[in-house]
A and B are shown apart, each in its own frame.
Chain A
């Protein structure tokens, strides 16, 4: 009796938080079709989330592709198949590493950034001021961030994939003396439609995780600067973990239904 009461009490917080999160998600989605649209805010966020993330995405893409070619090339060498490096690098990048690494990097940069920005606004009463002055904070703050991330993350993932292939090619060229034409035609032919769909659908889904979790923790912040710091960390951790978990499930679904 006592134990079950304790467990219920323990679960109450997370359950309420989840409920609040669903509410926020629902409202943010509903606002996509509603007036007013804050196009300036969407553009601003696209710039800060999308363009601002390009350097980190270039670095992540290049080094992850390079290190993959390095290890794959060596493994394939044992079977005399170094020539297949391009195929392997391409498939892994487009299906898995590109989406997940880009999403994790952008989560580290923007889920926390969003949480700290909205959190500071919350604790300094700017969110209340917004409501008092005629704007719905979800419409003005959450929806633009959600749309901007939804558009930009798939684009960033494509960039990451491509730069990863370049990184893989440079390593392949230097260490395994791969032929450029062979490498690039392999990376292209290795991909089937389901890979491309998977490679774009995943970042689209993760974009909601990043923007909505960032906004959620930001809007919940309380207790001054310390509260903002806590919200920032929580947002980044929650977004990253959610992305990794979703990544496995989406991978499973694609393996089951696309047959490869």
Chain B
């Protein structure tokens, strides 16, 4: 079998905001189709910058980035829109448009992505479908300021997946949420992966999140998460430290890693099936 195509490739990518202070330092990795990559690292280690750079929202000062098979390193902004249309992104603070209702937020990519042509009458159905996916259909006409943090996160996920992108970037989907809501959000991410076979990058502080993604599958019949068993998932862990990639490997390798910084992110899973 031929190796699956890489949806995202970083080749010695460095990012600097102030000259001489690299926020990302020579990062290289590639994400093949179907993989879920868990990115961990302390606050300020460059996780958000990494995701934004992958989308071309930040510019790299060295190295090359290829997104969905296209080299985006030096592409001008107006040529990036068509590529970005095929990538969904959940921003760290949701970044919902606060002057629009939840429904308008979710409809936004459908209305504005030039490469996505959806007839007007199908629009509402699409929006509803996406909000049903995150179980937020009742909040259609609410404004983001009227939602709780967890609901906002879910609305933002609905907005990210509404166009059915093959690649998803989730920035800290569970940060600042209680364990139950965090579990719900992770379940959504796993559901998205297993229903639509999407590839994803998931930034998180919590090891349980990674553990869940690596070892559980969504069961469409019961709507719950079941242990993956022999239907093993393609999950890779990656740890950033001050802009450098200090670990990349499977969960087993991560748990065996002797580095003390990396070790701090590994905890015994708190919840089982």
Q: Which residues of A contact B (CB under 8 A)?
A: 121, 124-126, 128-136
Contact = CB atoms under 8 A, between A and B. Distances in A.
Contacts of B92: 125
Interface string B72-96: 0000011001001101010111011
A49 to B, nearest CB: 16
B77 A129 contact: no
Interface of B: 52, 55, 57, 77-78, 81, 84-85, 87, 89, 91-93, 95-98, 108-109, 112-114, 116, 159
Contacts of A135: 112
A133 B156 CA distance: 12
A135 B97 CA distance: 13
Contacts, number: 49
A132 to B, nearest CB: 5
B95 A131 contact: no
Contacts of B93: 124-125
A126 B55 contact: no
Given A134-B113, A135-B112, A129 B95 contact: yes
28 contacts: A124-B93, A124-B95, A124-B98, A126-B95, A126-B96, A126-B97, A126-B98, A128-B52, A128-B57, A128-B91, A128-B95, A129-B91, A129-B95, A130-B97, A131-B77, A132-B55, A132-B87, A132-B91, A133-B84, A133-B108, A133-B112, A134-B85, A134-B109, A134-B113, A134-B114, A134-B116, A136-B78, A136-B81
Q: Which 8 A-B pairs have the closest CB atoms?
A: A134-B113, A129-B95, A125-B95, A134-B112, A133-B109, A125-B91, A135-B112, A132-B89
Contacts of A133: 84, 108-109, 112-113, 159
Nearest to B108: A133
Nearest to B112: A134
A133 to B, nearest CB: 4
A96 to B, nearest CB: 37
Contacts of A126: 95-98
A132 B113 contact: no
A132 B171 CA distance: 13
A131 B78 contact: no
A39 to B, nearest CB: 14
B109 to A, nearest CB: 4
A131 B98 contact: no
Which of the listed residues A126, A128, A130, A133 has the most CB atoms from chain B within 10 Å of its own CB? A133
A129 B85 CA distance: 12
A136 B91 contact: no
Given A132-B91, A134-B114, 9 more contacts: A126-B95, A128-B91, A129-B91, A129-B95, A129-B97, A131-B57, A132-B55, A134-B81, A135-B112
Nearest to A137: B77
B114 to A, nearest CB: 7
A30 to B, nearest CB: 11
B84 A134 contact: yes
Contacts of A121: 97
A132 B78 CA distance: 12
Contacts of B77: 131, 136
